[in-house]
Amino acid sequence: MKATAAAVLASDTLVSCWRIVRVDGTVLGFTTHDTDIVYDSVTYEAASGFAPTATRQTDTTAADSQDVEGIFDSASITEEDLAAGLYAGARVYHFEIDWSDSGASGIHKLDAGIIGDISRTRTGFNAGVMGLKDLLTQVIGRTYTKSCWHTLGDAGCGITLEPTAWAATTAYALLDVVSPTTADGRRYVCTTAGTSGGSEPTWDTVVGNTTNDGTVVWTTYEAYTKTGTLTSATSDQVISDSGRGEADDDFTYGWIEFTSGDNSGIQIPIKDYTGATGTFTLLFPAPFTVAGTETYKAVRGCNKHLKLSGDVWGTAYTGDCRVKFNTENSGNAKRFGGYPELPGDDKIFAGP
């Protein structure tokens, strides 16, 4: 039977340990001891540069916090994994242990939380660990803004970014959306309900045209998710596919996912897109070197606006929600999650 926390604290051979559970389930351990410690089947790696630099705990509802320095200097934690977001939101458990018996006498639990901000220093990275009471400080509800508060593709938005593949002899309802079994840069919207044929039709890829399929009629639209192969990479942040033909900014505010190469499976937001050269400028560099020959899929971006500053009341608005994501049955603008006519600060603070 293990001893109580008080008995553990009576030991003069205590050291601190941190157990990290990444978002992908990987478990890592670190300790301030000068040699590794194995406890509960986890090896706690000795990290000489590992130390909490600022800790705040209260007996009120005020949020606890802890800054840890040196933990990310370990060879077990790579800059590439950090850039890929594997530690954002990771769970952290902090406890003390009697190193002389590898915890056989029990442990003294100190704190638990999640990793929040990660900052770069001259020698490595620091992590801010947020206590569980931080959940009490999270804003519940929404802020009323001109821009949409939905995330592109979520239930509130309603846009299907990657439709399911077409299937034979399947009943389809009005406005169901499918993609062909071989990507062709289009999505097909059911405009006459029915049952699909026994074999995939020859799709009419001209936007606005229709394809007859059994008793279903499909209307052709631009796909929101496009696939391609890079033709060059100026850097790990500026990459190009000269075969693209979309207009400027078509992918701006969207994201790209590498589907081959060292960065395969990694998604990165797109900061800017130049149509003439098919150049994507990413929000931050890819964690691994981009060869410039990788395959990828890219999601068209949304500026989260229905009405732009130059649009006039009573005319067709030109924000992305109206122009880029409002094609099926003239419908998605009604899901817009913002308030385009909300007065700005100049109206609020103006005199009578």
pLDDT tens digits, one per residue of 24-81:
889 988 888 888 999 988 999 886 545 555 455 555 555 455 555 545 556 677 777 7
CATH 2.40.10 for domain 225-299: yes
Quote the pLDDT of residue 11.
Answer: 62
Residue 239 pLDDT greater than 90, yes or no: yes
Residue 326 pLDDT greater than 50, yes or no: yes
**160-181 pLDDT per residue, tens:** 899 999 999 999 999 899 999 9
* Beta strands 42-46 and 27-31, pairing class: parallel
Cα–Cα distance for residue pair 66/54, rounded to 1 Å: 6
- Encoding tokens for residue 312? 């006039």
Nearest CA to 303 out of 327, 317, 315, 321 is that of 321
- Mean residue pLDDT of the chain comes to 83
Cα–Cα distance for residue pair 43/76, rounded to 1 Å: 12
Per-range mean pLDDT, top range of 2-6, 248-252, 319-323, 337-341: 248-252
Range(s) for CATH 2.40.10 in the chain?
A: 225-299
Residue 226 pLDDT greater than 50, yes or no: yes
Nearest CA to 323 out of 240, 222, 238 is that of 222
- Encoding tokens for residue 187? 């999505």
Cα–Cα distance for residue pair 52/314, rounded to 1 Å: 59
pTM, entire model: 0.63
Cα–Cα distance for residue pair 14/309, rounded to 1 Å: 62
Residue for token pair 């994201």: 255
Query: CB of 74 within 8 A of CB of 30?
Result: yes
What is the average per-residue pLDDT within 275-287?
Answer: 95
**45-58 pLDDT per residue, tens:** 886 545 555 455 55
Q: At 338, which amino acid appears?
A: G
What is the average per-residue pLDDT within 256-285?
Answer: 95
